[in-house]
Amino acid sequence: MPSATDSKTYLVTGSAGFIGFHVANTLLKRGVPVVGFDNLNAYYDPALKRARLKQLENTSAKEGVSFNFVEGNLENAAELNACFESHDFHRVIHLAAQAGVRHSITHPEEYVSSNLVGFANMLEACRTAKTPHLVYASTSSAYGANTTSPYSESHGANHPLQLYSATKKANELMAHAYSHLYRLPTTGLRFFTVYGPWGRPDMALYLFTDAIVRGEPINIFNNGEMSRDFTYVDDIVEGVLRIAEKVAEPDPDWDASAPDPATSNAPYRIYNIGNNQPVKLLDYVEALENSLGRKATRNLMPMQPGDVKNTYADVTKLTEAVGYRPSTSVKDGVERFVAWYKEYHGID
């Protein structure tokens, strides 16, 4: 775990994004220099992204630790390589990607460009720079049609239900190839429904809050018969930073005749990172209603294309590796989001 005396620089891609912002902010508060990399695209309002960057600049000034921001595109290898040539990175935490399950159904080309071409450029940059450890974002959506619960990294994840999850699964395979060929240590983290302050406006909690505040109905899909392993962002950040310091190593017990997909004889790891306590969607909505002091008008809808009914993370491997133990209840997490939302939007 990086300490206040650690002067080694982290690269955090997607630093203007939701999780990337929180990771970078926590590093800065711990006295760790950060280089942020983001293209500030218009998938959602860039004003929110710039507000996050302003907060990072404020933290940097307050803590007296360096934060340098690079506006660039992952799919532009020259821009990414220039960033690596200008710094010696102790760790790379790669969280930049084109996000959004449903957006991938209508805009597949954006996912090919950012999540495939961009990730290939990142792997090549890390290989060339001999980066000590690359940690990157995967997704619980990788489990796709697999309904075994709870999801384990040792289960199959070979039947994605939309292109977003297919690109993330491809990232895991690409990372393994680089770990095998070049001994580049890589760790992929399958995130489970992250929420909290500074969250993305296209995610359920933000959409529901917007609608309730405006007196508009909220759309609840599959008639509310869904559950999610909602995971508060601070718990996610703690897991990310702990695993970043545990450099992936070859698994001495890996058996090529019965291969565990979560490990390898290469320096490669895959971990789930979630709350390990799935919550019914309607209970999540109720927690939001209680925090806002308002009832929602619920518009019950059929299942959306590419969606799944339930997610549930088995986090045993991550707990064993770094002592990961999420501690934030949905009630507390939603209350903290609502407090931030009101402050950010100037609502009494």
- Which pLDDT tens digit goes with each residue over 72-127? 999 999 999 999 999 999 999 999 998 877 788 888 899 999 999 999 999 999 99
Helices 281-292/204-214 angle, 10° precision: 50
Answer whether 26's CB lies under 8 Å from 241's CB.
yes
CA pair distance 127, 107, nearest whole angstrom: 30
CA pair distance 207, 52, nearest whole angstrom: 19
- Which pLDDT tens digit goes with each residue over 3-50? 343 359 999 999 999 999 999 999 999 999 999 999 999 989 999 999
pLDDT for 231 equals: 97
3-state helix vs strand vs coil in the chain, percent to 5 = 45, 15, 40
Tokens describing residue 105? 């159904």
- Residue 304 makes CB contacts below 8 A (sequence gap 6+) with 102, 221, 222
CA pair distance 39, 56, nearest whole angstrom: 16
DSSP 79: H
Domains assigned to the chain? 9-191+233-273+313-326 (3.40.50.720)
| Alpha helices for 186-329 (secondary structure H) | 204-214, 233-245, 281-292, 316-322
Q: What is the mean pLDDT of residues 127-150?
A: 93
Question: Which letter, b or e, does each residue of 311-325 get, where b requires 16 or more Cβ atoms within 10 Å of its Cβ?
Answer: bbbbbbbbeebbebe
- Residue 266 makes CB contacts below 8 A (sequence gap 6+) with 176, 179, 180, 183, 250
164 is catalytic: yes
- Assign 294 a pLDDT band (cuts: 50, 70, 90): very high
Answer whether 141's CB lies under 8 Å from 156's CB.
no
pLDDT for 224 equals: 80
CB atoms within 10 A of CB 50: 12
pLDDT for 4 equals: 40
Q: What is the mean pLDDT of residues 214-234?
A: 91
pLDDT for 2 equals: 40
pLDDT for 7 equals: 52
pLDDT for 147 equals: 84
pTM, rounded to two decimals = 0.95
- Which pLDDT tens digit goes with each residue over 169-201? 999 999 999 999 999 999 999 999 999 999 999
Torsion of CA 78, 83, 87, 91, to 10 degrees: -110
Tokens describing residue 143? 């489990």
10, 43, 44, 164: the catalytic one is: 164
- Assign 306 a pLDDT band (cuts: 50, 70, 90): low
Q: Taking every pair of C-alpha atoms in the chain, what is the biggest distance, in angstroms?
A: 61
The identity of residue 293, as a single letter, is G
Tokens describing residue 120? 């290939």
Half-sphere exposure of 191 (CA within 13 A, CB side): 25
pLDDT for 300 equals: 86
pLDDT for 1 equals: 45
pLDDT for 99 equals: 83
